[in-house]
Chains A and B, each alone.
Chain A
Amino acid sequence: MKIHKYLMTVIWVLAVCFAPSPVTGDEKVLNRWSQKQDFYDKFGSELEVRATYYSAEYIEALVQVEAQKNLWTSDETEQYKYQLLKSLSLDEYIPIHIAFDNRGPAMHMSPFDKLATLWIGKNKVSPVDYDKRFNFRLQGKRDGLVFFPRYNEKGKPYLENAKTIRFSLSNAISSTTMDRSAVDFFWDVHRDNPEGLYKGRAAARLELDRLIKRIEKLNAEKRDLESKLNELNNELSSVNKRVEELQKQ
């Protein structure tokens, strides 16, 4: 019995105080924002669910890891970052990447948006878009993005003053999770620094994209107003013409 106590004490000290993990640097950042949960049932079935929140530090770390892995130049790295940020649409949405590895009974998650919820403080937010492949029967691996709105109806950002957010998948996603209350992931978003993300050439290109979009919008509005003005001018001229005709009579 004494041996057990000593053994457990040593393990706890190691785990809690020192945790001499070989996981360091970028990998540590990736692990923090990309969380995994394993579920088992008594049959021997296994389900792994991984959820990733795209924090600024996660994206930066991911870009660096990919750049190192693929031996990219700084131009290629910026290009990758630009494409990544563009596809994530961070200015409009809060994207969460989900990956399932289901080695158990088939999952039927249609309609998937009814099974996913994002809690930000007291706000309960539902997806506005998601990878429709989640609606199909699933055995094996599948991953995709779920997009939540970044702003409420009044245009106020949900994440403003948010500390920790909770991404919750219903226990109904699989019979392997059915006996649990839910499949929850938590991220301390207040420990992120979104400002750090929008630097460098990728940020300049994104700003350029935004400005081009804005110019397109303004031009469309201008065209609309010009057409209305033309209509008014035409109407005005026809009225004037008629007035002149009447005056002549």
Chain B
Amino acid sequence: MKKILALVAVIALVAFAAPAFAAANPFMDVPMNHWAYDAIGQLAARGVLSGYPDGTYKGNQPMTRYEVASAVARALAVVDMTKASKQDVEMLKKLVVEFKDELDALGVKVDKLDGRVAALEAGVGGWKFWGQFRMDAKWASEKDGLYTTGDTDFNLNRFRIFGQKKVDDNISVTFRIGKSGVNTVAWERYFVTAKMPWDVTMHAGLYLTDWEGDDRLYHGSENDAKFTDRSMTGFWFTKDFGMGMFQVFAAHFDEDLNTSPTQKWFYDNNLGQYILKTTHEKEGYEFGARFRVNFNENFWLSGNYIKRTFDDSPFLGESYGRPDPSPNPSGTVGVTEDKQAWWVALGGKFNSGWTATFAYYDVDNGGTNNSGNAYQGIVNIDQSVLKFTSLWLEYMKIDDATFNVWTAGTWDTYGTVTGTSLGNYDDILFVRADQKWNDKWATFLRYFHGSARNPAADNTKNYTFGVKYWYAPAMSFELAYDKIESAGTVAGADDHVIRLRTIVDF
């Protein structure tokens, strides 16, 4: 009778606990090849479990979820967390997560359990670790080097290991060690996060912000941002408020201090002449500020500003008196003058599953005739609307030939399509359609078309078809075909690649 009541309790709790649980069948038998079934057997074999609730093993009979949960509850009651092997505790933890609802119904409070396994969850010395691994196999037609791999290339092209430790409730430390492309293993992130008074959060260290990603100004699995999405060493502050947030940062970059100094020409307005200076190009400060505010659940607005000032202190020498540097000896007059970029973005949801975004960019890369602006419009339609596919439609109108962006390879997802010189194009159309067929399979199509600004140059095209398969949530394979025509508006710069990518997350 008691068992019947308990079962009724399970039905009531699981069926009505929340809408997501409503569809779950609490009496679905656990198949004998289910990991939980095996885990129970292993724990029993190691003596962690002395038997099932009725004191017997079920032999070859499949168990109900309730029975498995009962076994877990029994194990929790008797096992000594401090003495059980790490493997056993980990297995128990997985079982607790899987059968939380049933355990609740049995009166085993996960809250209490949480404390018991907290030490294990905290990881080694309080550190938590996770990571990613990516390997590419490429077979390319590489006459123009657009994929920079050679005809055939098997490459463990990226891996990352993250570590994080909570110093206390308000302070944490995070790092990332990784390898990207041909670079050697490096510290890619190391920063402290601290919650300050007045809802201010501070990040200090080698950190990355992606303001364009925040506003969804590019498709996340696709091209890079234009000005942000770069790691820098400095201080970031975020002030949250009810309907938005405000951010500022100050960073210093000195990546090239170890490289040979270079000679650059500067125009001095006071002297009215050019000056040849010997300097390090990539040393200086970068400052930025951003706000984003939501007016309601549908509309938002953001404003963003970044300024780069190059540090003149390591000048090694100057020479005056050259009134006209033509022909320019290095071709880089004004390169190290201050740069700045600002953009505003506005977005809205117009119907269930539809979003539209508009952005205006203005960049000044220093020197004369080295600035430009552009407009961008994006319509994103979720797969729930069209049922069979999602749709990302992006259009960019570029007003000036000098519109150069700061993040390398804005559309260079598979190969070198545009580089940073977006000013080569009058306008750009980018379309991506993703079809998620089920939890295992997805396909996608993408198309890029850049209209050449110079009438004599060729338009750039890039199209891709890909299939993605998830062997497990932690492991997936992507097979894609990508073709680039007239890369960077250069006639005949055509290549294609077949790429098999293996991704493992842990």
Contact = CB atoms under 8 A, between A and B. Distances in A.
Candidate in B16, B354, B451 with the most chain A CB atoms within 10 angstroms: B16
Nearest to B425: A1
B352 A21 contact: yes
A103 B220 contact: no
Contact of B114 (A5, A99, A132, A187): A132
Interface in A28-52: 28, 31-32, 36, 38-46, 52
Contacts of B128: 108
Given A132-B111, A172-B172, A12 B379 contact: yes
B379 A145 contact: no
B97 A105 contact: no
Max count, chain B CB within 10 A of own CB: residue among A135, A182, A186: A186
Contacts of A7: 429
B467 interface: no
Given A44-B134, A187-B297, A80 B243 contact: no
Interface stretch (A119-127, A149-157, A220-228, A236-244): A119-127
Contact of A87 (B17, B238, B382): B17
Given A87-B17, A108-B164, A172-B193, A139 B474 contact: yes
A137 B128 CA distance: 10
A91 interface: no
Interface residues of B, number: 90
Given A28-B352, A143-B20, A181 B209 contact: yes
A175 B162 contact: yes
Interface in B459-476: 468, 470, 472-474, 476
A135 B132 contact: no
Contact of A110 (B118, B211, B472): B118
Contact of A181 (B12, B214, B501): B214
Contacts of B132: 41, 43, 45, 104-105, 175
Task: Output the residue of A27, A66, A110, A141 with the most chain B CB within 10 A.
Answer: A110
B131 A133 contact: no
Given A22-B385, A143-B20, A120 B350 contact: no
A136 interface: yes
B296 A8 contact: no
Contacts of A119: 240-243
Contact of B385 (A23, A46, A86): A23
Contacts of A32: 297, 352
A8 B377 contact: yes
A21 B298 CA distance: 17
B208 interface: yes
Nearest to B210: A179
Contact of A44 (B16, B20, B503): B503
A179 B351 contact: no
Contacts of A108: 121, 128, 130, 164
A46 B351 CA distance: 24
Contacts of B229: 179
B245 interface: yes
B243 A19 contact: no
Contacts of B160: 43, 175
B356 A87 contact: no
A11 interface: yes
A139 B213 contact: no
A135 B353 contact: no
B282 to A, nearest CB: 22
Interface string B78-119: 000000000000000100110010000000001101100110
Interface string B465-503: 000101011101010000000000000000000000101
B149 interface: no
A15 B356 contact: yes
A103 B470 contact: yes
Interface residues of A, number: 82
A123 B243 CA distance: 11
A4 interface: yes
A205 interface: no
A164 interface: yes
A15 B169 contact: no
A87 to B, nearest CB: 5
Given A87-B18, A140-B473, A145-B18, A105 B478 contact: no
Contacts of B258: none
A84 B23 CA distance: 13
A56 interface: no
Given A23-B384, A102-B473, A121-B242, A16 B356 contact: yes
A209 interface: no
A83 interface: yes
B158 interface: yes
21 contacts: A4-B449, A5-B427, A15-B350, A19-B350, A23-B385, A40-B219, A43-B134, A43-B160, A43-B505, A66-B22, A83-B15, A104-B505, A105-B131, A108-B130, A119-B241, A133-B110, A135-B118, A135-B121, A140-B474, A181-B214, A186-B294
Interface of A: 1, 4-5, 7-8, 11-12, 15-16, 19, 21-23, 27-28, 31-32, 36, 38-46, 52, 62, 66, 80, 83-84, 86-88, 97, 99, 101-106, 108, 110, 114, 117, 119-124, 131-133, 135-137, 139-145, 163-164, 166, 168, 172, 175, 178-182, 184, 186-188
Given A40-B221, A164-B294, 19 more contacts: A1-B451, A5-B427, A15-B356, A21-B354, A40-B220, A44-B501, A45-B505, A52-B19, A66-B22, A84-B22, A103-B476, A108-B128, A110-B122, A123-B242, A132-B114, A133-B110, A139-B505, A166-B294, A184-B294
- The 6 A-B pairs of least Cβ separation, nearest first, read A83-B16, A40-B220, A19-B351, A40-B221, A31-B352, A140-B473
